[in-house]
Amino acid sequence: MAGVNWRSIPTVLYPQEILDKAFSRASKQSDFVEDPDKYHRVRKQMDRMVQSAADVIDSTLLKWVDRWPSLNALSQFDQALIDAAVGNDEYRKSLGTIQWAAEQVRKIAGETQRKILRLRNIEGFHQARRHAYGRFSSILDQVSPQIMWLGEARDTLRHLPSLDPGEPCIVVAGAPNVGKSALITALSSGEPEVASYPFTTKQLHLGHFEHRRRAYQMVDTPGLLDRPMSERNRIELQAIAALEHIGDVLLFLIDSSEGTTTPLDQQEHLLEEAGHLMSERPLIVVHSKADLIGGLAEEVETPISAQTGQGLEELRARLIEVIGADEIVDPLSLPENWHRDE
């Protein structure tokens, strides 16, 4: 299942922008109609203008439906991510309403064109075209709330990470302001925003490092708070989505220094909760500001510094070892998704 390229979601126009584009295109199309008889020329012009305007509106709306990812085709992680970011119900409802509007526009165009064929006077042709334009405008006005919602949702979704399900993934989690962004920046090529105040990470960030031509993805989750699920905001729910549905290993950071912004007992409770969410995957605990690294096997205990790089290579090696993506089961076959030169 391919990852979603959120940045490819097309721009959402305002309803009036769609109408302006449609009517302008239709007006130009009428100039291409040639017929020496005025009666037949006007009838053909009005028919073509209605069809052209409907085509622009229809194609614009259906492009959104076609190019916005279908929830049913997405991974559990991406579905949970959309739900946390903008809401799956609103997502489905808005795209469904947009598709309905496109169908109505096509229906109106067909009815108007059949009416024009039955009319026998020039003024009737113009009236039929104007009436169709009015009905097009009414339909777009009716779905205006859904169009505006799509525009706002696009701005949100474009900032979500695009994960490659064929490559290893490391989920970095912990309480707010424990150094997740600094560590992922030091370990990978990603450069999440770093600041010294709670909730420094406003959304999920994605970085990666390479080992033997394989990209190891690192997902930097927003800081979690030790409180019931029902009280968590959408930023926290994005982190939960990452913990529940992705990751070959969980890298959990704990700040046990005196200046921690989250009490140690709350951090330990979060660690227990995260362990339950990723119960089938390995867990590595990093005491980010106590300069100690610990894992399930307690094999790595090296001073670490995101600023100087001390201990980072040992941690990277431990992650690669735990994930085991390069283990060879059958020496006569290449691993799945291995890079090949065609």
d(CA 183, CA 203): 16
The pTM assigned to this predicted structure is: 0.74
pLDDT of amino acid 19: 97
174-188 residue pLDDT tens: 888 888 888 888 888
The answer to whether 268 and 253 are in contact (CB under 8 A) is no
- CA nearest to 186, candidates 236, 220, 215: 220
| Percentage of the residues of the chain whose pLDDT score is greater than 90 | 34
- Rounded to the nearest integer, the mean pLDDT of the chain is 83
319-336 residue pLDDT tens: 999 988 776 556 566 556
50-69 residue pLDDT tens: 999 999 999 999 999 999 99
197 has pLDDT over 50: no
| Percentage of the residues of the chain whose pLDDT score is greater than 70 | 83
Beta strands in the chain (DSSP E): 169-174, 205-211, 214-220, 249-254, 283-287, 292-295
Q: Which domains does the chain have, with CATH numbers?
A: 6-157 (1.20.120.1190), 169-323 (3.40.50.300)
What's the average model confidence in pLDDT over 299-306? 53
d(CA 223, CA 238): 10
